[in-house]
C-alpha cells in the first residue's frame, strides 16, 4: 500500500523514498490522543513539516511526538487504522524516529523499542525524557532533565536525615515562630493563586469531571494551564521546607515515613504532570488539594499564635486527617478513569498515579488509627 514499504537498499535510497512519500502523500495528524484526520504536507524540512488539514495548518517538529497544533474534529476508524499501518510500514530515517512515529500513531513505542536491536539505553533515555515530553514545557526551568529533580530530592533527604540532625546535636531547638507564620501565609496565598489559575484556565469554561484529555496546543488557555502546573510543582518543592523546620525545632518525631514519602511523591508527580500531562483531568487534583491545604495551613497559622488558640483548635486536629483521607479518596475515584477503555489519556499516567494514591491512603489511615482512635474511645 505504501511505496516505502518495499525499500530495503541503502540508507540514501530509503531517505529519498521516504522524502518522496512525505512530500506527495496525505499524512494523518493527531487529534487529541486516538483520533486522526487526513491532511496534506505543504512544507517539509529536515526538522519539521507543516500539514494542511481542512482550513488549518498544523506544524509538527519531528523531534517530538505531538503536533504543536491539533485539529478539533474527530476522524473515522479507517483513518485510525491507516495511521497504524503508516507507522508500521514506513521505513524511518533512523530507528529512534521509527519508535517516535509508532508511539505517535499507534501507541506501541514500547514494543518498537524492544524489537529494535539498534536502540541503546542512551537513546531510550532520550526517547522517554525528550521525545515523550510536552514540547511546550520541555525546556522550562527544572523540567528539562530528571537529574535536576533527583538532585533536589537527594539534597532534601541528606539535609533532614544527616546534615541538620548533626548540626542540631548540641544546640537548643529553634522556635522559628515568625518564619513558620510567614511560611503558612505564603502557602495559603499560593494555594489561592493555584485555584484561581487552574480554574480560570479550563475548569470554568470547558473542563468536566470526566476523562478530560490534555490540550497540547499553543492556544492561550492550554498554555496558561501548563504554566500553572509548573507553579504547582514549585509550591510542592517549597513544602520540603516543612521537614527542615521540624528538625530545626527538634520535632524529629514528626519526621515520619508518611511525612517524607508524601512530600517526595507529590513533588515527583507534580514534575511528571508538568513535563508530560500539564492539563486535563490531572489538574482536578491541584484544585482539590489546594483547597484542603488552605484549611490545613490556616489551622497551622492559628495554632502558632499561642497556647490558648492551640487549645481551642484541638478539636479540629483529627478532622484535618479525615479531610485529607476524603480528598485522597475522591482523587482516587476520579483518577481511575485514566485506565478505563474509553479514556484517551495514556494508561501510563494511571499506572503511575493510582498506586501512589493507594499508598498515601493506607499511610494516612494508619496514622489516623495510631494517633486518634484510642483518644476517641
- CB distance 217 to 224 below 8 Å: no
How far, CA to CA in Å, does 120 sit from each of 96, 123, 124? 10, 5, 6
Q: How many CB atoms lie within 10 A of CB 147?
A: 10
d(CA 346, CA 103): 11
| Helix, strand, or coil (residue 22) | helix
Give the closest residue to 332 by CA, choosing from 362, 363, 354, 316.
354
How far, CA to CA in Å, does 305 sit from each of 78, 151, 198, 223, 298? 66, 36, 32, 40, 11
> Catalytic residue among 64, 232, 259, 262, which?
262
- Sign of the CA dihedral running 109, 113, 116, 121: positive
Strand order in the sheet with 26-31: 26-31, 35-44, 48-53, 56-61
Catalytic status, residue 64: no
d(CA 113, CA 108): 9
Cell 519526621: give the residue.
255
Farthest CA pair distance, the chain: 84
DSSP string, 81-96: HHHHHHHHHSPPSSHH
| Helix, strand, or coil (residue 30) | strand
Which residues 6+ apart lie within 8 Å of 236 measured at CB?
Answer: 263, 266, 267, 270
Chain center to CA of 42: 33
d(CA 28, CA 80): 8
Strand blocks (E) in the chain: 26-31, 35-44, 48-53, 56-61
d(CA 275, CA 109): 18
Q: Which residues are catalytic?
A: 262
Amino acid at each position: 500500500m505504501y511505496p516505502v514499504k518495499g525499500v530495503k537498499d541503502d540508507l540514501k535510497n530509503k531517505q529519498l523514498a521516504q522524502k518522496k512519500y512525505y512530500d506527495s502523500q496525505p499524512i494523518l495528524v493527531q487529534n487529541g490522543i486516538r483520533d486522526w484526520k487526513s491532511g496534506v504536507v505543504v512544507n517539509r524540512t529536515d526538522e519539521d513539516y507543516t500539514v494542511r488539514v481542512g482550513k488549518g495548518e498544523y506544524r509538527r517538529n519531528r523531534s517530538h511526538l505531538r503536533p504543536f497544533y491539533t485539529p478539533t474534529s474527530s476522524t473515522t476508524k479507517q483513518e485510525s487504522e491507516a495511521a497504524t499501518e503508516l507507522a508500521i510500514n514506513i521505513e524511518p530515517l533512523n530507528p529512534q524516529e521509527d519508535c517516535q512515529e509508532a508511539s505517535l500513531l499507534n501507541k506501541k513505542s514500547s514494543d518498537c523499542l524492544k524489537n529494535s536491536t539498534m536502540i541503546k539505553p542512551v537513546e531510550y533515555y532520550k526517547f522517554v525524557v525528550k521525545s515523550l515530553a510536552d514540547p511546550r514545557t520541555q525546556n522550562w526551568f527544572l523540567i528539562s532533565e530528571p537529574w535536576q529533580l533527583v538532585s533536589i530530592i537527594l539534597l532534601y533527604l541528606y539535609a533532614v536525615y544527616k546534615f541538620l540532625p548533626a548540626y542540631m546535636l548540641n544546640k537548643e531547638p529553634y522556635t522559628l515562630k515568625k518564619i513558620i507564620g510567614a511560611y503558612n501565609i505564603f502557602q495559603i496565598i499560593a494555594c489561592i493563586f493555584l485555584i484561581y489559575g487552574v480554574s480560570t484556565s479550563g475548569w470554568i469554561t470547558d473542563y468536566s469531571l470526566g476523562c478530560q484529555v490534555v490540550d497540547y496546543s499553543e492556544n492561550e488557555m492550554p498554555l496558561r494551564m501548563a504554566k500553572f502546573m509548573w507553579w504547582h510543582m514549585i509550591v510542592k518543592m517549597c513544602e520540603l521546607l516543612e521537614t527542615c523546620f521540624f528538625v530545626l525545632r527538634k520535632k524529629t518525631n514528626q519526621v515520619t515515613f508518611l511525612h517524607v514519602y508524601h512530600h517526595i511523591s507529590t513533588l515527583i508527580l507534580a514534575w511528571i504532570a508538568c513535563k508530560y500531562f500539564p492539563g486535563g483531568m490531572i489538574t482536578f487534583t491541584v484544585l482539590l488539594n489546594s483547597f484542603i491545604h488552605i484549611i490545613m495551613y490556616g489551622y497551622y497559622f492559628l495554632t502558632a499564635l499561642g497556647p490558648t488558640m492551640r487549645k481551642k483548635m484541638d478539636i479540629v486536629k483529627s478532622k484535618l486527617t479525615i479531610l485529607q483521607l476524603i480528598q485522597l479518596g475522591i482523587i482516587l475515584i476520579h483518577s481511575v478513569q485514566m485506565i478505563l477503555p474509553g479514556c484517551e489519556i495514556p494508561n501510563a499516567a494511571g499506572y503511575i498515579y493510582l498506586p501512589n494514591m493507594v499508598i498515601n491512603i493506607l499511610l494516612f489511615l494508619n496514622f489516623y488509627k495510631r494517633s486518634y482512635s484510642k483518644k476517641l474511645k
